[in-house]
Structure 1
Amino acid sequence: MRSIWKGTVSFGLITIPVRLFGATERRDVAFHLVHGEDAGRIRFRRVCQVCEEEVPFADVAKGYELPSGDMVVLADDDFEDLPLSSSRRIEVLQFTPADQIDPIMLDKAYYLEPDDAGVRPYVLLRDTLERSGLVAVVKVALRQRESLAALRVRDGVLLLETMLWPDEVRVADFAFLEEGVDVRPQEARMAESLIETMVADFNPSIYKDAYREALQEVIEAKIEGREVVPAEVPVDEGPPADLMAALRASVEAAKKGSGRRTPARDEEPAEPVSDQGAGEKTVSRGRKSRRPA
């Protein structure tokens, strides 16, 4: 696993350096959007609705839309002075019984691993939480967003579960709640009897994602049937034509300037003829030969 965050757990006067790791992962079958005729990838471009020009990512800003449709544009420096006091700290606010935290408020889960210097206080906090049966309510900032979170123990590791803020949980406001529905006693007894016959300890390993497995089988069948569109290999067209022309012109100019041919790559250039005697000449590799008298 790869660490996604590094900071400290602040517990009274105790500071525990930790690293954060994602505790869960999605196992969906991933797809790309492609052209059905030739399997080419579909690309999406950032086009401005006003000037209809493609916008580079460096010029993209965040905009907050008003009810009137007007836009408030925020740049990166507008976010720099915002109060994220716990940006590198998991601050313990209180301890509370776990059953007082409504599961609907739980969002994402992360494992906390201590640095070498923090193992002892980490184990102290972990063991204390386990013995008490409580969870720590903390505040943490991840990806420029501050959240409440619950800190509890799972399999000997501290688990951080971020929570939604109370105003992010929708109220269940449905019309049938106002209707007076009478349930007969015999119906209630029968429902209770049915539930009792289905009571069992929860073992998640006996369940599986049948849809994902069936979809993977469809993909494997297409692979075996060679219903696969080969990936396009980029064609190496070499240097641009104008560059090739410039190179050829340079070679020709070099030949004319030297007055002799250019030696091949594997050919050693001949050494110049010696002017110290008409009967001697120097050949390659420094060896001399003498003409017969």
Structure 2
Amino acid sequence: MPRSIWTGSISFGLVNIPIKLVTAVDSKNVSFKQIRRSDSSRIRYRKVAEIDEEEVANDEIVKGYEVAPDQYIVIEPDELKSLDPKKSRTIDIADFVDLADIDPIYYDSSYYLVPQETAAKPYLLLHEAMTESGKAAVARFVMRSKEYLVVIRPLDDALAVSTLTYDDEIIKPGRLDLPDRDELDVSDAEIKMAEQLIESMTSDWEPERYTDTYREKVLALIEAKAEGQEIATPPEVEEGGEVVDLMAALEQSLQAAKDAKGDAKGAAEKSA
């Protein structure tokens, strides 16, 4: 089982459910080190002062908030520490809301809540009640001197918890440069054709079908170079031009989607 990164309890009315917080994501990003091409020597970074380019020791570095160009207010570590939220081992549920009402744009990092040995029954009770009601719990808790706003929801047999982005940090669509509906004429026929294309491309949600193809290519490249293979640089692909006839493009896309489904069905029948 993944390692616990926080232990505490869920506060659910007068009920406390001892839990462990474990990560729900195992990042598989390919990491690189910066090296000098000529001898593979590692590149290191020094902290230097901009005014004289002299290296600065860690004990000389303080936090500064820029209030005007090159004007800073120095904030001392103790001053920040005095503002830290009160340490707590409780995930305090504030509200229950309809899970469908929470737009995914608010989700940040995801974890699982796992019951401690004495909490199996109340954990299961909360899980079942939330599943039956379709509700999610909005809560707060403190981890590593930072308070998090989270949503707790049933996921299969577990309770998943996701940290949330605060509403004032979300860029609302009204701030974007979006098409003016009044100035564009989208015909009913075009909408119908787009709906048919969507329907032809619709399938069940199977997350295992979608893999990180870029990471796979990077790992294959690393393996090939480690084996001494010569790597040919592929030619640049020209970007497609602007779609002139939207209806014709939709019709061609719909036919291509139907052909692809037909090929996939035939391959599945052959392998059966």
- TM (norm. structure 2) is 0.76
Would you say the 8 A contact 2:87–2:145 is kept in 1? no
- Counterpart in 2 of 1:213? 216
State the match for 2:188 in structure 1: 185
**Does 1 or 2 have the higher relative contact order (CA < 8 Å, sep 6+)?**
2
- What SS does the aligned partner of 1:19 have? strand
Match of 1:174 in 2: 176
Bigger radius of gyration, 1 or 2? Answer: 1
Runs of 4+ in 1 over 6 A off after TM superposition: none
Identity of aligned residues (%): 38
Q: Structure 2 counterpart of 1:185, which letter?
A: D
Q: CA deviation at 1:87?
A: 4.2
Distance 2:49 2:9 in 1: 42
Query: In structure 2, what is the equivalent of residue 275 of structure 1?
Result: none
One-letter code aligned to 1:195: I
| Structure with the higher helix share, 1 or 2 | 2
In 2: Cα distance, 1:196 partner to 1:170 partner? 31
2:207 alignment partner in structure 1: 204
**RMSD (CA atoms):** 2.1
Whole-angstrom CA distance in 1 between matches of 2:179 and 2:87: 41
Instruction: Please name the residue that 1:251 is paired with.
Output: none
| Pairing of 1:1-293 with structure 2 (within 5 A) | 1-50=2-51, 52-82=53-83, 84-85=85-86, 87-172=88-173, 173-178=175-180, 180-225=183-228
Indicate conservation of the 8 Å contact 1:147/1:164, yes or no: no
| TM-score, length of structure 1 as denominator length | 0.71
Q: Aligned partners of 1:52 and 1:96: how far apart in 2?
A: 54
Give the Å deviation of 1:62: 2.2
Q: 1:213 to 1:121 in 2, by over 3 A?
A: same
Displacement of 1:117 after TM fit? Answer: 2.9
- Contact 1:6–1:18 (CA under 8 A) maintained in structure 2: yes
**Could you list the runs of 5+ residues in structure 2 that have no partner in the other structure?**
231-272
- Please list every run of 5 or more consecutive structure 1 residues that lacks an aligned counterpart in the other structure: 228-293
